[in-house]
Amino acid sequence: MEKLTKDLKENVQYFKGLFKDCDDILFREIEIGDEHKVKIIAIFVDGMANKEFVSDSAIQSLFWKDDLNHIPVDETYELFFNRIFKEAIASAELKKEDKIETIIDNILSGDTALLVENMDKCIVIGSRDGPSRSIEEPKTETVIRGPRDGFNEIMKFNLALVRRRIKDPKFKVKFKQVGRRSRTTVAVLYIDDIVDKKLLDEVKKRLDNVDIDAVLDSAILENLIEDNYLSPFPQVENTERPDSVAAALYEGRVGLIVDNSPFALIVPATMGTLIQSSEDYYERWSQTTIIRIIRIIAMFLSFTAPALYIAITAYHPGLLPTKLIYFLAASRINVPFPSVVEAILMELTMELLREAGTRVSGPIGSTIGIVGGLIIGQAAVDAGIVSPLMIIIVAVTTISTFAIPSYEMATGFRTVRFTFIALAGVLGLYGVVLGIIVLLSHFIILSSFGIPFTSPFSGLGIEEGDLKDTLVKAPIQRLWLRPGFTNPKNKRRMRGHKK
Amino acid sequence: MNKDPKVSNIQIRGLIVSTVIGVGVLSLPNTLTMTMGNKGWVTIILAGILIIPILYIINYIFKINPGKDFFQIGEETFGKIIFKIILIIMMAYFIDFCAYVVRSLGELVEAFLLPTTPIEVIVLSFILATSYLATHEIDVITRGGYFLYPIILLFAGIVILISIPEADFSNLLPLNNIDYSQIPRGLLDSFVSFAGFEMILFALPYVENGKDSTFKSSVYAMAMITAIYVLTYVVCIAHFSVEQLGRQLFPVLQLVKQVDLPGFFLENLDGLIMALWVLVVASTFIPAYFAAGKVISKIFNLKSHKYIILILIPIIYFLALYPRDILQINKILLKPFNILGLMTGVILPLLFLIVILIKKKVKK
């Protein structure tokens, strides 16, 4: 059956057959009219639809509206149906529908369908109201200064949070359904007169090409639409903060909000954008500049620190000051392992602690931190299994990964770190440099929705002055133009310099 | 999204600088003192100036043939057979370029970083690491060139800055007794260290915006390279004097090794400089490697140069390791490199110009 038929019984039979064994789907049969009776059946999902709202504004008003119950004998069902639609139901969101597929979609999303006797149409009442969490502070991206609201799992709230920041009719929200079974709604967000049309088309094309049965979180969608899914590095940015999404839209990028996920996606993501954090824009520029540079150093250390330690201790001790070499040799004198084994051992322990600490939260988590970090570290040094300097290196490496704003980027670096340790063990400093060559090659080859991942460091957007907001951050007054790498239609943010 | 490679004007600059500066910067001061004494900077500047007309010719060739790449233009101007011969010469040049660069790198890494590691491992691992980028198209290569360009400036900057405190600039004096008879030799020596600018043959047709100013940015790049060369040369002379410099094969590294920075975390900077230099060499090697693959793929009319790059791995490896010592390197790799470099870098653009001009005349 594609469309509803005139026969109510047949329709109801069809839906009952379809929703067989779905005990959470409720069928409410009502009868109105004094002499002449008309049967109406409401179908909705318990818990997804707001039951109170359905009873108050639909069922109750059908029962109590006097003139509705005096049905003239000569009135056709069509007229009666229109009367209900126009006069009886007090709901802001109401539509007529006859396509079964759409009706099923609506019911399963929490709407209520009213099937009326002898009509091949039904009324769909927008009654979506699932369980939800309140707006909380984002857990992964906390700021000292700046807005504290974060996304939750309900898309319409998330959209409202963004819309509140862009009160412009040019801000567009396009819905798309993804997932054959999960039927997850994805909202494509963009500002029409800023975004590059080519980028937008590419995003839409990739969303259309997604073929999977369920999209449970935006992370799954992210993997499905990114350029190179084999890469350890993300090519899509994700954020829990509505202000980050709004800022990205103003830069001419495209946002994706996936229903049931508190993480919005932003494309394209480049090296320049992945080292930015939303707080950068709320702090003074000098502060931010220093922090950005520290982040770059952290990024570098997060994958090279243990490798450099190995390379220098095992291959090139001559590079260090003489006193430091003596200290190093003295501290390693009791260590039975070569520094590669030492490094891999400690890095693995650290990963273990990190993983255990993430899985259990709260007080137990901090216990793991204390037991792992302090006690094991101290004991390992006392027992002479590792040198104290190695502990320092491992700690610095781990802390460095936390200083990278993008968690996915940090995980990427964590993954390649072991390769670097191995390379340093085999070829020393030369091995580390070879590793850097391959890693840089990978970054240079990588692209995000057709835009080079290394932008703006590899040329794209340099002429527009993109460097002003990467390694350094110029004062807001100096950022006249939107970043050039997104090729925005409207380039100017503010009046200012003539150029 | 777009399969057509695109290059921006500003990237051309980065590509030229990062391709040209490589092995030459370390040995140039030494080779120049052999012929020019302490006047080597004269020939460096002269060579830099002489390359500008060549850059102009190359830009001109692409300007009058809009929308066509180097291989199409070449086929149209010379005909299929002659152009194939030219391509074979270019192939020999780029393969020799790669072999020479990677062998020099191997020698230096062995000497300064990994004294006990066999040079075979160093050379092979370097070729393998760089082949990843070389299999990609010209837009990726230029992106890489631009990305590594600040590293080159950093490298040159560190070398020049740390050597200034101990420099004795009176070594440069006297300024006026130039031995004019040696200038052609010195010019040739300097020209070799400018090899690599031919890469714009592959990149120029894909420049999408600001096509008119590509000449300007290539001249800008050349000026930058000349400045870096002159400065390193001056610093080396000031540090070593002519007699000592004649005995240092790689004076820049020796210079870095001699400079002590007491009180700094890294007391000796040579490790750091060597590490940076390996990156600098990679930025020279990758475009040349790519060019070799591209030229071969065109000789055999192949669509992609991906597999050629893989086939080239053993070829470059064996060619690089064929010479036994520095003397043989100079004889087997450097000499042909000089000749072939002159042919592709100077004679080829001139040939292009002459043929195009004659054709124009005939048409009239």
To test the contact with chain B by mutation, choose from A304, A440, A466 the residue with the greatest count of B C-beta atoms within 10 A, namely A440
pLDDT of residue A255: 96
Compute CA distances A300 → A34, A218, A295, whole Å. 80, 28, 9
DSSP state of A140: S
The mean per-residue pLDDT over the stretch B260-282 comes to 79
**CA distance linking residue B124 with residue B3, whole number of Å:** 32
Q: Are A135 and A149 in contact (CB under 8 A)?
A: yes
Residue A396, number of CB atoms within 10 A of its CB: 15
**Tokens 């990739």 belong to residue:** A206
pLDDT band at B267 (very low <50, low <70, confident <90, very high): low
Whether the per-residue pLDDT at B265 is higher than 70: the answer is: no
Residue ranges in chain A modelled with pLDDT below 70: 66, 496-499
Say which amino acid occupies B272.
L
Q: Are A173 and A200 in contact (CB under 8 A)?
A: no
Find chain A residues with C-beta within 8 A of B142's C-beta. Answer: 459
Report helix, strand or coil for A27.
Answer: strand
Maximum separation of any 2 CA atoms in chain B, in Å? 73
Interface of B with A (CB under 8 A): 1-2, 8, 10-11, 14, 109, 113-114, 117, 121-122, 125-126, 129-130, 132-133, 136, 140, 142-144, 146-148, 264-268, 270-272, 274-275, 278-279, 282
Q: What are the helix (H) ranges across chain B? A: 9-20, 24-36, 40-64, 70-78, 80-112, 119-134, 138-163, 183-193, 200-203, 214-245, 251-258, 270-299, 306-321, 326-328, 335-342, 348-363
Q: Are A143 and A175 in contact (CB under 8 A)?
A: no
Q: Are B109 and B276 in contact (CB under 8 A)?
A: no
Kindly identify which residue of chain B lies nearest to residue A322, measuring between CA atoms.
Answer: B267
pLDDT band at B2 (very low <50, low <70, confident <90, very high): very low
- Do B147 and A444 lie within an 8 Å CB cutoff? yes
**CA distance linking residue A105 with residue A107, whole number of Å:** 6
Q: Provide the ipTM.
A: 0.93
pLDDT of residue B274: 87
Find chain B residues with C-beta within 8 A of A315's C-beta. Answer: 113-114
Residue A78, number of CB atoms within 10 A of its CB: 12
Whether the per-residue pLDDT at B39 is higher than 90: the answer is: no
- Do A444 and B282 lie within an 8 Å CB cutoff? no
pLDDT of residue A34: 75
**CA distance linking residue A151 with residue A399, whole number of Å:** 27
**CA distance linking residue A192 with residue A249, whole number of Å:** 10
The mean per-residue pLDDT over the stretch B194-216 comes to 85
* pLDDT, greater one: A362 or B14: B14
CA nearest A273: which of A246, A253, A297, A293? Answer: A253
**CA distance linking residue B86 with residue A219, whole number of Å:** 52
Distance from CA of B265 to the nearest CA of A (A): 7
CA nearest A191: which of A261, A257, A269, A245? Answer: A245
Nearest to A436 among B113, B125, B279 (CB): B279
pLDDT of residue A429: 92
**CA distance linking residue A146 with residue A160, whole number of Å:** 18
Distance from CA of A445 to the nearest CA of B (A): 6
When the candidates are 3.40.50.2030, 3.40.50.360, 1.20.1740.10, 2.90.10.10, the CATH number that belongs to B9-363 is: 1.20.1740.10
pLDDT of residue B1: 37
Burial class of residue A229 in the structure, from the number of CB atoms within 10 Å of its CB (0-12 exposed, 13-18 middle, 19+ buried): exposed
- Do B279 and A433 lie within an 8 Å CB cutoff? yes
pLDDT digits (tens, 9 = 90+) for B49-103: 999 999 999 999 888 888 888 899 999 889 899 999 999 999 999 999 999 999 9
- Do A319 and B117 lie within an 8 Å CB cutoff? no
Whether the per-residue pLDDT at B3 is higher than 90: the answer is: no
**CA distance linking residue A16 with residue B109, whole number of Å:** 77
Burial class of residue A85 in the structure, from the number of CB atoms within 10 Å of its CB (0-12 exposed, 13-18 middle, 19+ buried): middle
- Do B267 and A322 lie within an 8 Å CB cutoff? yes
Burial class of residue B80 in the structure, from the number of CB atoms within 10 Å of its CB (0-12 exposed, 13-18 middle, 19+ buried): exposed
Could you state, in order of their start, the residue ranges of all structural domains in chain A?
8-125, 155-269, 285-452
Find chain B residues with C-beta within 8 A of A442's C-beta. Answer: 132
**Is A209 in CB contact (< 8 Å) with chain B?**
no
Distance from CA of B359 to the nearest CA of A (A): 38
- CA dihedral (A208, A212, A214, A216) positive or negative: negative
CB pairs < 8 Å spanning A and B: 101
DSSP state of A38: E
Give the H/E segment covering residue B69: none
| A222 Cβ contact list (under 8 Å, min separation 6) | A234, A236, A238, A265
Find chain A residues with C-beta within 8 A of B267's C-beta. Answer: 319-322
Q: Are strands A264-267 and A237-239 parallel, antiparallel or unpaired?
A: antiparallel
- Do A460 and B121 lie within an 8 Å CB cutoff? no
- Do A445 and B282 lie within an 8 Å CB cutoff? no
**Is A438 in CB contact (< 8 Å) with chain B?**
yes
Whether the per-residue pLDDT at B123 is higher than 70: the answer is: yes
Kindly identify which residue of chain A lies nearest to residue B135, measuring between CA atoms.
Answer: A445
The DSSP code sequence of A300-328 is HHHHHHHHHHHIIIII-GGGS-HHHHHHH
Nearest to B132 among A321, A441, A452 (CB): A441
pLDDT of residue A120: 87
B83 phi/psi in degrees, rounded to 5: -65, -35
- Do A319 and B271 lie within an 8 Å CB cutoff? yes
Whether the per-residue pLDDT at B264 is higher than 80: the answer is: no
pLDDT of residue B181: 82
Whether the per-residue pLDDT at B210 is higher than 70: the answer is: no
pLDDT of residue A329: 84
What pTM was computed for the model? 0.91
